[in-house]
Structure 1
């Protein structure tokens, strides 16, 4: 199971009842954090989650509302007796900014490893620090600074069929290898493939996270068939469209149109302007564009 928690839903600055947009995804006892604005560590505690489980931090871009909470978070993780390395991935040109930001941390009891991501093309990398079956796709976006979106793709092992393995006289000690996708050779030379003793491979689970960008066409392809598409919607008032184009952000209606085009299962809106005091008032009209739209609030949770 994959547990998803939207720690905050605000853009620009935190409000007394709204933390800045950040995502916490846990899987098999480890966690991924996407973005870390001011107060993120407080939001993690408020929603009953553990900083100590974070093994990977994904940064979309280096604006303050997405990174200013990083030093405090890293220090708090250090206070949890962590000694193993922690990985941070971000657009290539952001790495020096993040390294400079870390100078206020002093000495940490663990190593922080930075990975720069291309800003001009989509890439996919394996998140082995979380699980070998997890792939992370990275999509360049269109903002005022280099910015990327992320898709977390959780491959799932097919169901193992013990009865089928017994029928093929496969010794029990080989079952784990077959379930992990390896072929085995029996003593008589018979080759047994994983598909001989498993059901068809399950469709991967996919979480797509996009914020701070114009609604470019590439996003629809990138988010295609996502189980959950988490996307910014700064305003719900269509009259703000010209302003959003100038600032290179999206309206809620833009996100809904992308969700419909991409064929996602559900859309969670986030990253609201501080001026949007009650963004949920738009939910009914937004569902006329894309039916499974949720105007989220802080702490929204889902298990996939």
Structure 2
């Protein structure tokens, strides 16, 4: 029976069921464009900052960029069923961007109010994405077999429809939402590494993910509505006791260099996510936030917000930023 189940999955994907076209969207001007930071941390275990994941809601589309630790928990806090995510996008193959993927994939299949996915999970990414799609079902074959028999779950819901790309360009387009992949410099050994630009209703959000200072980010994010960039800061004293931390720092962007990118790109709003911070106890603290802000301001004077889990950005004529409690943190108007 399990062999038949696997055959059903392969047939379903080969038929291209995951490429089903949605009905025509309503007027884009009536639809929301919202970005929520689900995880703003790093591999450091921290219940306040799960690892990297961002939710983009654009019109009818709900998209995930990276699936780090805790992605299902944050979506649950927002009341968004996992089955409602239309597509997920992987930036690169570092674990802190992927450890939430098995949870999202498996939990979204369960016959619950937060799961019940009955169509293949769409997954987009660079080299390595197809291997994830191939080996995850093998790793969890026994769980899949049991639930298929015991809970009579449909094979389509656990299928993974993987789309692997090799070069920059448009990787997804649906309901007026366009996703463009662009290369970033995460270091010579960390290739491929991509960021994504999501465009909708004449506006765009740029998410470079992990990168050192890279002029390609400046070009991609020039005059963007929202640029969400990583930031890294490691105490010099810590690097003396653990020299390998310098290797980590070499693969990321300092506050000063991020500020240079913001100054050149001139987005309506710049925001930090993916805090790679080893600072007074190896965590992101209020004092670390203040220091990151201070250093960024040496090279950038424009609108800036330091992200936290469940911070949201509503993008329209103005950009309204709200915290996890739903209270407004700031609002940025249109460009002059």
Instruction: Please classify the TM superposition score into its range, dividing by the shorter chain length.
Output: 0.7 to 0.9
TM-align CA RMSD: 2.4
Distance 1:78 1:150, change over 3 A: same
Greater shift, 84-93 or 231-240, is seen at 231-240
Distance 2:266 2:191 in 1: 28
- Select the residue among 307, 310, 323 that pairs with 1:296: 307
Structure 2 unmatched runs, 5+: 1-31, 145-154, 240-244, 316-336
Q: Is the 8 A contact 2:165 2:171 kept in 1?
A: no
Distance 1:64 1:45 in 2: 22
Q: TM-score, normalised by structure 2?
A: 0.68
Distance 1:232 1:77, change over 3 A: same
Aligned length: 250
Residues 1-150 of structure 1 aligned to structure 2 (within 5 Å)? 1-79=32-110, 80-106=115-141, 107=144, 109-110=156-157, 111-118=159-166, 121-128=167-174, 131=175, 133-143=176-186, 144-150=190-196
TM-superposed deviation, 1:48: 3.6
TM-superposed deviation, 1:94: 3.7
Secondary structure in structure 2 of the residue aligned to 1:19: coil
Secondary structure in structure 1 of the residue aligned to 2:276: coil
Secondary structure in structure 2 of the residue aligned to 1:60: coil
Secondary structure in structure 1 of the residue aligned to 2:86: strand
Distance 2:228 2:193 in 1: 16
Secondary structure in structure 1 of the residue aligned to 2:232: coil
Q: Verify: 1:263 aligned to 2:266, yes or no.
A: yes
The superposition leaves residues 176-200 of structure 1 with CA deviations (integer Å, 9 ceiling, x where unpaired) of: xxxxxxxxxxxxxxxxxxxxxxxxx
Give the corresponding residue for 1:173: none
TM-superposed deviation, 1:145: 3.3
TM-superposed deviation, 1:244: 6.2
Q: TM-score, normalised by structure 1?
A: 0.75
Distance 1:55 1:250, change over 3 A: same
The superposition leaves residues 48-101 of structure 1 with CA deviations (integer Å, 9 ceiling, x where unpaired) of: 433221010000011110111111111111122221232111112443145323
Distance 1:13 1:49 in 2: 26
Q: Is the 8 A contact 1:224 1:262 kept in 2?
A: yes
Larger Rg: 1
Distance 2:249 2:41 in 1: 20
Distance 2:258 2:60 in 1: 31
Q: Verify: 1:277 aligned to 2:284, yes or no.
A: yes
Distance 1:249 1:122 in 2: 21
Runs of 4+ in 1 over 6 A off after TM superposition: 236-240
